[in-house]
Amino acid sequence: MVTSAERLRRLLALVPYVVARRAVGLAETAATFGMTERELIDDLNLVWCVELKAPEPYCPIDLSYEDGEITISQAESIARPLRLGADEASALLVALRTLAETGGGGSAVPRLIAKIEGAAGAAAAASSQVTFQIDRPNERGVTATITAALHAGKRVHLRYYVPGRDEATERDVDPMRLFAIEGHTYLEGWCRRAEGVRLFRLDRVLDAVVLDVAASVPETAESVDVDAGLFRPSDADIRVELDLAPGARWVVEYYPCESVTELGDGRLRAVLRTPDAGLVRRLALRLGEDGRVVSPPALAAEVRAAASAALALYD
Amino acid sequence: MSKRRTERLLSIVVLLLSSNRYLTAEQIRAAVSGYPEQEEPFKRMFERDKEELRDLGIPLETGRASQFDDDLGYRITRQDYELPEISLEPDEAAVLGLAFRVWQSAELAGAAAGALLKLKAASRDLQDDETVTQRRGIEPRLTTQEPAFGPLWEAVRDRRPVTFEHQSPGRSDATKRILEPWGVVNRRGRWYVAGHDRARNAPRVFRMDRITGPVRLAGPPGSVQVPEGTDVRELVKDWDRAPARDRTAILGIRENTGIGLRRDARESVPAKDRPGWDKVTVSFADSGWYAHYLASFGPDVIVLDPLDLREAVITRLKGVLA
């Protein structure tokens, strides 16, 4: 249920939307405004019913929606949309500057930024206080190679680093899209080896070669819903309990944890799920005395064995 | 009820935009349907309506209705109300669609959607140039999982000081901060707020995911002055700057392992005295941090030189067994 304020905001955009187009379809308009045709007709009726009683009674807005087409013959003072508010102007400008930062959108981005800053006026001021930066993984030319493959619709061969296993894997991928989220740039593509949609972090691509084969992404391939977060636990994951000293508290910021409990004196117990025991083994070696694998016991033993073997190199 | 309220608010907007002069509350009541007869309920309802209109960003001005009259009146000028003319090229329209997707389900997604509708309402032929959408390059996505983002953004926008508790890494207790926020920055996927820390009397940067508990406003709008020439981006960059890798280490790395280390190697040759191993030269910045990283490779890596790095790795590995 929309509030009366949200509905008013919508009406004040709906009227100019129709006025600017002279005549526009009900279905198209409902889709643009994200509502059903029934709701749209309710809105149009509401606008049409507005009556001012004084000094002389009159109806300022006249419209019709016959044969599935809306026309507004008289809209008086609300024929133009309301100015952008500070939140609206900022949301758009920050998004556009973010696009400029990643190079998405090309030369239209700076032109559009200038136009919107001009139209927003003072409302644009706050947006300069929000900025976005990513690390560009361009140094190795991998981004350029993969972008070219994506635009040409070609398959790529990747050498891809898997840090959890400290392993370089070889695979052929049909690119679907490139996106940047949570500080990293990813290729989403159909991995021929896994026969599924996979995400590849570009800073972990050791090498990329465009193949002379057309990319063929199965129609059933679905994009990953990245906005729900990149981390997706699975039933096959192992559950690891880790005790962390104050110097290792950063671990709970970097790894998604199922639960975190304060143990006092800044110590934490973290429970995390991972498909890859190797990742935890390496993490535990890195943490030294600041971290301790509590369970599973087999993993704890594996960590100790690896530390002993490493120390033996120095004897 | 809600429908009548929308109708009433819309009537006020139309009435005041059509009028060239200030109209008194009484004149508005006479023209707009739906206000009660009694004086007190009318006043209360009218106050709420004014507030709601202003919250929507409608520039409702107050002034004297006439020079013979002390009564206050209200007006909305077209110049302040209307979005200025803006015409978009097809490629700009396509980019607008890409920009809208940046926020997705994050904090400012609703505001981005509102802006997009206004711009669509402003121009007739907003046709997307599909070649732009097809050749779109890297699509950025902003997420705002930190609960502190919303209140801190509002504080920055309205220039209001805030208080919050902040958990520093490696410390067991959170500290209370009073901050005059200058701006928010997303760097490498994390949100930061930068501003003047009143207790420290100095500029400070805070990571939002280390802010625990609620962010509270601690002063009226407009009470924060952002110093001339402040660049919040640079502040955050300085705070988070990686130290220079000005030291050199010689490592032994088992063949076909240590891929992550080899990526940054300056030189790699087979180790003559150690069959199955490579001798790899790397640069590093800080022996503490780098030793921890090297320890994560376990028995696949040995530090040959320098001595302090070698000792630091041994200490870390012994810590695992302690």
ipTM of the complex, rounded to two decimals: 0.79
What pLDDT does residue A160 have?
92
What pLDDT does residue B171 have?
65
Instruction: Name the domain boundary from A228, A255, A285.
Output: A228
Q: Give the CATH number of domain B2-81.
A: 1.10.10.10
Whether B153 and A12 lie within 8 Å, measured CB to CB:
no
Q: How many angstroms separate the Cα of B258 from the Cα of each of A79, A167, A253?
A: 66, 8, 25
The answer, for A6 touching chain B at a CB cutoff of 8 Å, is no
Over residues B225-248, the mean pLDDT reads 81
- Enclosing domain of residue A115: 86-129
Q: Take residue A75 and report the two structure tokens written for it.
A: 């809209």
A94 and A72 in a single domain? The answer is no
Q: Take residue A13 and report the two structure tokens written for it.
A: 């955009």
What pLDDT does residue A258 have?
84
Query: Between residues B79 and A104, which one has the greater pLDDT?
Result: B79
Q: Take residue A4 and report the two structure tokens written for it.
A: 């009366």
Start and end residues for every CATH 1.10.10.10 domain found in chain B: 2-81
Q: Does residue A304 belong to any structural domain of this protein?
A: yes
Å between A301 CA and nearest CA of chain B: 10
Does the pLDDT of residue B232 top 90, yes or no? no
* Strand blocks (E) in chain B: 23-24, 61-66, 69-75, 138-141, 162-166, 175-187, 190-197, 202-207, 211-217, 247-254, 267-270, 277-284, 301-305
Does the pLDDT of residue B136 top 70, yes or no? no
DSSP strand pairing (A257-264 vs A267-274): antiparallel
Over residues B306-317, the mean pLDDT reads 92
What pLDDT does residue A230 have?
67
Q: Which B residues 254-293 touch A at CB under 8 Å? A: 257-260, 263, 292-293
**For testing contact with chain B, the best of A74, A80, A111, A261 (most B CBs within 10 A):** A80
Query: In A, which residues are within 8 Å of B209 by CB distance?
Result: 253
Reply yes or no: is the peptide bond before residue B306 cis, omega within 30 of 0: yes
Contact yes or no for A53/B50 (Cβ under 8 A): no
Q: Which fold has domain B149-239?
A: SH3 type barrels. (2.30.30)
Q: Does residue A233 belong to any structural domain of this protein?
A: no
Does the pLDDT of residue B257 top 60, yes or no? yes
Nearest CA-CA partner of B295 in A74, A148, A42, A286: A286
> What is the rounded distance in angstroms from the CA atom of residue B95 to the CA atom of residue B92?
5
Whether A4 and B317 lie within 8 Å, measured CB to CB:
no
Q: How many angstroms separate the Cα of B214 from the Cα of each of A256, B137, B152, B163?
A: 22, 38, 10, 9
**For testing contact with chain A, the best of B139, B187, B304 (most A CBs within 10 A):** B139
In this prediction, residue B76 has a pLDDT band, given cuts at 50, 70 and 90, of very high
Q: Does residue A137 belong to any structural domain of this protein?
A: no
What pLDDT does residue B74 have?
93
DSSP strand pairing (A167-181 vs B138-141): parallel
What pLDDT does residue A252 have?
85
What pLDDT does residue B188 have?
80
> What is the rounded distance in angstroms from the CA atom of residue A163 to the CA atom of residue B225?
46
Q: How many angstroms separate the Cα of A7 from the Cα of each of A47, A83, A91, B52?
A: 11, 17, 20, 12
Q: Does residue A136 belong to any structural domain of this protein?
A: no
A109 and A174 in a single domain? The answer is no
Query: Between residues A133 and B271, which one has the greater pLDDT?
Result: B271
Q: What is the mean pLDDT of each run of 10 residues along chain A (315 residues)?
A: 83 91 89 90 89 81 86 84 90 87 81 89 76 62 87 92 84 91 87 89 89 88 71 76 88 83 86 86 92 91 93 90
Query: pLDDT of A41-92, one tens digit each?
Result: 999 999 888 888 877 788 888 888 888 889 888 887 888 999 998 889 988 8
> In chain A, which residue's Cα lies nearest the Cα of B174?
A266
Q: Which of B14, B80, B302 sits opposite A60 (nearest CB)?
A: B14
What pLDDT does residue A233 have?
65
Residues 6+ apart with CB under 8 A from A150: A175, A176, A177, A178, A187
What pLDDT does residue B1 have?
47
- Which DSSP letter does residue B317 get? H
Å between B193 CA and nearest CA of chain A: 9
Q: Does residue A98 belong to any structural domain of this protein?
A: yes
Q: Does residue A135 belong to any structural domain of this protein?
A: no
The answer, for A56 touching chain B at a CB cutoff of 8 Å, is no
Q: Take residue A23 and report the two structure tokens written for it.
A: 């005549």
Query: pLDDT of B81-108, one tens digit each?
Result: 999 888 888 888 888 888 888 887 677 8
- B269-297 as b/e, with b when 16 or more CB fall inside 10 Å? eebeeeeebbbbebebeebeebbbbbbbb
Over residues B195-202, the mean pLDDT reads 91
The answer, for B233 touching chain A at a CB cutoff of 8 Å, is yes
The domain tally of chain A equals 4
DSSP strand pairing (A267-274 vs A69-74): unpaired
DSSP strand pairing (A130-133 vs B175-187): parallel
Picking from A178-182, B65-69, B185-189, which range would have the lowest pLDDT averaged per residue? Answer: B65-69
Q: Does residue A197 belong to any structural domain of this protein?
A: yes
Instruction: Name the domain boundary from A54, A78, A102.
Output: A78
Q: Does residue A308 belong to any structural domain of this protein?
A: yes
Residues 6+ apart with CB under 8 A from B297: A166, A282, A285, B253, B257, B258, B261
Å between B81 CA and nearest CA of chain A: 6
> What is the rounded distance in angstroms from the CA atom of residue B56 to the CA atom of residue B58?
6
Angle at A203 between CA A202 and CA A208, to 5 degrees: 55
Q: Which of A129, A166, A180 sits opposite B258 (nearest CB)?
A: A166
